[in-house]
Amino acid sequence: MAFLIRQQALRGALPRELLAACAISLNSRHFIVLNRPPPNYPGHVPLTRIEKAGLALGSAVMSLMDPHRGDLIAALGEATATPYFIYRLRDAMLSDPTGRRILRDRPRISSKTLSMEYLRALPENTVGRTYADWLDREGVSPDTRSEVQYIDNEECAYVMQRYRECHDFYHALTGLPIVREGEIALKAFEFANTLLPMTALSTFAITTLKKNERDRFWKIYLPWAVKNGAQSKEVINVYWEEQLERDVDGLRAELGVEKPVDLRTIRKAERERWRAEKEAKKRASDSLGIN
Amino acid sequence: MKPTTASARTRQLGNYICSSCSHQLRRQRRGYASVTQSIKPSIYDVVCVGGGPAGLSLLAALRSSPATANLKVALVESQDLSKTRDFLLPPNQFSNRCSSLTPSSVRFLDTIGAWKHVKKERVQGYTEMQVWDGISGARIEFDWHAEKEAGRGERPIAFMNENLNLTSGLLKRIDELGGVEIMDRERVENIGFGEESEEVDLRMWPVVELNGGRRLAARLLVGADGANSPVRAFSGIESRGWDYERHGVVATLETEGSGWGGDASKTAYQRFLPTGPVAMLPLPGNYSTLVWSTTPALAAHLKTLSPKDFIAMVNAAFRLSPVDLAYMHTQASGQADEFSWRAQHTEFDMQRIPQKAVGVQEGSIASFPLKLRHADTYIGERVALVGDAAHTIHPLAGQGLNQGQGDVESLVKTIEFAVTHGQDIGVEMSLEQYNVERYAANNMLLGVCDKLHKLYTVESGPLVGLRSIGLRAINSLGPLKAFLMAQAAGTGVKIL
């Protein structure tokens, strides 16, 4: 923790010009692993192109095998964000007044900046309350997001960090649960909206789903994700911290996002039907046995 | 204008009616024309309409050449030329209308004896040029230091000069030579054909009527009267082209220093933005002149900004991404604050962009519409067009004024030839050489600038990549670059 605080102090003390100068030198020449340049921001790990490609490949394979490795998915996101994609997302923020304000203020989302007590005390159907309810229902905390390390441009690194920290707000906005099926649906939505390659790669995890889940994805959630992700405004430009007390349906309407059919309800209904069927079958066989 | 159309009709009929009958037709027309026009015109060899850089250098050239010094010449100008003659600004003020003079234009001005009258302390030569793509950052660098090392001596690429400094110098030269009847503050009321009298037949001669009542008959009428040339309208020469839907915003800027290389080695900068190129060209000391081609709406917006925000926009135009610029164009104010924030997060090489602007001269921000126009021909019977009357070019290569000087040089040479060979200087046959020499060359330059403008207004797609590869390729091909530099300076091999 102390280390983190020190880094924060370091960031304040370093003149911006110096950071910019480092960024230029990094862009203008490639380096070899033996002489790695200094980081552009605290926590930055400069990688060569080959290292980035290796990181992308390795993290993609490993996270497909074990989707609970959030750190690997994060690394995959960073390794594949350049060239182009993270710059596009930053430019989308720069084209929007709120997006620009976010880039200027650089707010961070964690349990320290957002008090759970305050969120839980908000009226029903506000953005903040919906977010808190979602966190409580799924049993997760906003502190599970790792720091960006592999993106060279410090502003783009923040954009990636912001996307990552807002991910749970997207969950709350769409109501999609953290089960694999819900995550894939949300990733598809995020890809249509942010165009980050990692989100598209993540949807390959449908190969690991059960058949009925896969059918549901193709029939309900993929069409929803593509339509809503593409037609809605860029969700990265939502200043969530300022929207907490707002009606969540109003925000959905403003962004142009429809809430999809609740996945947990479907899954529950399906599970019950399956159980009932099994029960009925058992009872039928039991009665046969009596005869 | 009535006689013009009538005579044109007669001329057209000439194809179908035998010459004696058409002669009769003209004779009938003359009958009543002479009744209405009673003042007898004074006859001149050359009447030049328009006292801009092209018109004045034509007169100075004609008067300074021994072959043409005996011609009777007159100048008609609607503005008050005494103001131009007395052009005097303190050394910390510059007019916002500046032009780049190529070495070949300067050589011509020197030959006609006008260059020594131009205030040199207000002229700034530059030896380096930085041109880059606002989207991809691809860059081409023109630098005559390399030439110097090769032992060819350091020559400026071009000289930045206030248009008023040039016209004032030219007027001084004309005054020094004398012999030009200058009619300033006189508007051209009408241009028509003359009539036949006892002594002289002026029916095929253009006659310029001034609002003061004077009438000038010209053996050769030169139109140096700008883009909406009355002389061109009289001669029935069409001018074709298109508007760029862009305005050029000009201003005189004060920068934080006198350039990265100091006063000894100045640099011109141009960045191609999707809305059009923005250029910052060096003036003496800590001053620069700005030419920013942009859409009319954005130009109007720039003019409404406070000086502080305007300066921020100028600095942003050379540094920030097109995305940032597009956003800053939507702000009513606060660009200065926005720029200082964005400059921290944008990567640029300080040495390859202009020094920061810190001030803008009061009242120097102005704008003008950009267009391409080219007359079908530069000559007619007893008519020649020079400068903007003949062609209007996009300012991205800074060639407009130089084209006019090139026209004048060629026209004077043509007149000299006619005089020394005993030809009538006004007939189309004598003028033919001028049209031959200048038309194709100007047309090529107009086309190149037009295509460059169109190439660089593309914002995305494969064309951005291709043009960047092209620019980088030219930048690394030394001999090709040297050839292009020589062409831009007007000192290269004549290719047309």
User: pLDDT tens, B364-420?
Assistant: 999 999 999 999 999 999 999 999 999 999 999 889 999 999 999 999 999 999 999
Task: Tell me which of B347, B349, B353 to substitute to probe the interface with A (most A C-beta atoms closer than 10 Å).
Answer: B347
**To the nearest whole percent, how much of chain B has pLDDT over 70?**
89
Q: Do B323 and A91 touch (CB under 8 A)?
A: yes
- How would CATH label the architecture of B37-88+165-239+376-449? 3-Layer(bba) Sandwich (3.50)
pLDDT of residue B289: 95
Nearest residue of B to residue A89 by CA position? Answer: B323
A190 is in an annotated binding site: no
Q: Which segments in chain A show pLDDT lower than 70?
A: 1-30, 288-291
At B84 the three-state DSSP class reads helix
**Residue B467 to residues A201, B398, B451, B459, B488, Cα–Cα distance (Å):** 33, 21, 12, 12, 20
Chain A positions in Cβ-Cβ contact with residue B341 (cut-off 8 Å): 104
Give the one of B327, B344, B347 whose C-beta lies nearest to A94's C-beta: B327
Least confident of A22-26, A131-135, B276-280, B421-425: A22-26
Q: What angle do CA A274, A277, A281 make, to 5 degrees?
A: 140
Tokens for B432, please give them: 């033919």
Chain A positions in Cβ-Cβ contact with residue B347 (cut-off 8 Å): 20, 23-24, 27
Give the one of B323, B347, B348 whose C-beta lies nearest to A94's C-beta: B323
pLDDT band at B135 (very low <50, low <70, confident <90, very high): confident
The rounded distance, in Å, linking the Cα atoms of B38 and A167 is 90
Task: Tell me which of B139, B319, B323, B328 to substitute to probe the interface with A (most A C-beta atoms closer than 10 Å).
Answer: B323
Q: Do B347 and A100 touch (CB under 8 A)?
A: no
Q: Do A27 and B326 touch (CB under 8 A)?
A: no
Residue B31: CB atoms within 10 A of its CB come to: 9
A171 is in an annotated binding site: yes
Task: Determine phi and psi for A146, rounding to 5 degrees.
Answer: -85, 165
Give the one of B324, B341, B347 whose C-beta lies nearest to A104's C-beta: B341
A91 is in an annotated binding site: no
pLDDT of residue B152: 55
Of A52, A102, A54, A58, the closest CA to residue A78 belongs to A52
Q: Taking the alpha carbons of B166, B167, B169, B174 in that order, is the dihedral positive or negative?
A: positive
Give the one of A16, A100, A154 whose C-beta lies nearest to B327's C-beta: A100
B130: closest CA of chain A, how far (Å): 18
Chain B positions in Cβ-Cβ contact with residue A41 (cut-off 8 Å): none
Per-residue DSSP letter, A147 = P
Size of interface A-B (CB pairs under 8 A): 26
C-beta of residue A185 within 8 angstroms of C-beta of residue A259: no
Nearest residue of B to residue A158 by CA position? Answer: B345
pLDDT of residue B313: 95
A105 is in an annotated binding site: no
pLDDT of residue A30: 66
* pLDDT at residue B108 is higher than 50: yes
Beta B98-101 vs B276-282: how paired, if at all? unpaired
Burial tier of A29 (Cβ tally within 10 Å: 0-12, 13-18, 19+) = exposed
Residue A139: CB atoms within 10 A of its CB come to: 7
Task: List residues of B whose CB lies inside 8 A of any A CB.
Answer: 321, 323-324, 326-327, 341, 344-349
The rounded distance, in Å, linking the Cα atoms of B402 and B104 is 8
The rounded distance, in Å, linking the Cα atoms of B299 and B292 is 8
Mean pLDDT of chain B: 88
Angle between helices B53-64 and B400-420 (to 10 degrees): 30
The rounded distance, in Å, linking the Cα atoms of B292 and B273 is 10
A116: closest CA of chain B, how far (Å): 33
A27: closest CA of chain B, how far (Å): 9
Model pLDDT for residues B205-219, shown as the tens digit of each residue: 999 999 988 999 999
Residue B175: CB atoms within 10 A of its CB come to: 13
> Where along chain B do its domains lie?
1-36, 37-88+165-239+376-449, 98-160+242-369+461-489
Nearest residue of A to residue B349 by CA position? Answer: A24
Q: Do A104 and B327 touch (CB under 8 A)?
A: no
For chain A, helix (H) and strand (E) counts, in that order, are 16, 0
pLDDT of residue A137: 84
Task: Tell me which of B345, B352, B460 to substitute to probe the interface with A (most A C-beta atoms closer than 10 Å).
Answer: B345
pLDDT of residue B146: 57
Chain A positions in Cβ-Cβ contact with residue B346 (cut-off 8 Å): 20
Class assignment of domain B98-160+242-369+461-489? alpha beta
pLDDT of residue B124: 94
Beta bridge partners of B329: none
Per-residue DSSP letter, A39 = P
Model pLDDT for residues B4-24, shown as the tens digit of each residue: 444 555 445 445 555 555 555
Task: Tell me which of A100, A101, A103, A153 to substitute to probe the interface with B (most B C-beta atoms closer than 10 Å).
Answer: A100
The rounded distance, in Å, linking the Cα atoms of A178 and A263 is 10
pLDDT of residue B26: 52
For tokens 């926005």, the residue is: B338
The rounded distance, in Å, linking the Cα atoms of A76 and A207 is 18
**Residue A100 to residues A88, A155, B314, Cα–Cα distance (Å):** 14, 12, 20
Tokens for B170, please give them: 């030219």
A217: closest CA of chain B, how far (Å): 34
Nearest residue of B to residue A92 by CA position? Answer: B323
Of B417, B408, B434, B438, the closest CA to residue B105 belongs to B408
For tokens 């006198």, the residue is: B258
The rounded distance, in Å, linking the Cα atoms of B297 and B391 is 26
* pLDDT at residue B30 is higher than 90: no
Q: Is the ipTM of this complex over 0.85?
A: no
Tokens for B54, please give them: 């092209």
B338: closest CA of chain A, how far (Å): 10
pLDDT band at B75 (very low <50, low <70, confident <90, very high): very high
The rounded distance, in Å, linking the Cα atoms of B192 and B436 is 27
The rounded distance, in Å, linking the Cα atoms of A73 and B436 is 70
The rounded distance, in Å, linking the Cα atoms of A253 and A259 is 10
Q: Do B321 and A20 touch (CB under 8 A)?
A: no
Between B112 and B21, the more confident residue is B112
Query: What DSSP string runs through B400-458?
Result: HHHHHHHHHHHHHHHHHHHHHTT--TTSHHHHHHHHHHHHHHHHHHHHHHHHHHHHHT-
Tokens for B138, please give them: 């691809």
B466: closest CA of chain A, how far (Å): 17
B347: closest CA of chain A, how far (Å): 6
Q: Which residues contact B178 (CB under 8 A, 6 or more apart)?
A: B63
pLDDT of residue B496: 58
pTM of the model: 0.82
B357: closest CA of chain A, how far (Å): 19
Give the one of A17, A95, A104 whose C-beta lies nearest to B323's C-beta: A95
Nearest residue of B to residue A20 by CA position? Answer: B347
Of A110, A194, A171, A119, the closest CA to residue A146 belongs to A110
The rounded distance, in Å, linking the Cα atoms of A228 and A225 is 5
Beta bridge partners of B49: B76, B223
Phi and psi based region of residue A277 (left: phi greater than 0; alpha: psi -120 to 50; beta: remaining):
alpha
Phi and psi based region of residue B256 (left: phi greater than 0; alpha: psi -120 to 50; beta: remaining):
alpha
Beta B42-49 vs B139-143: how paired, if at all? unpaired
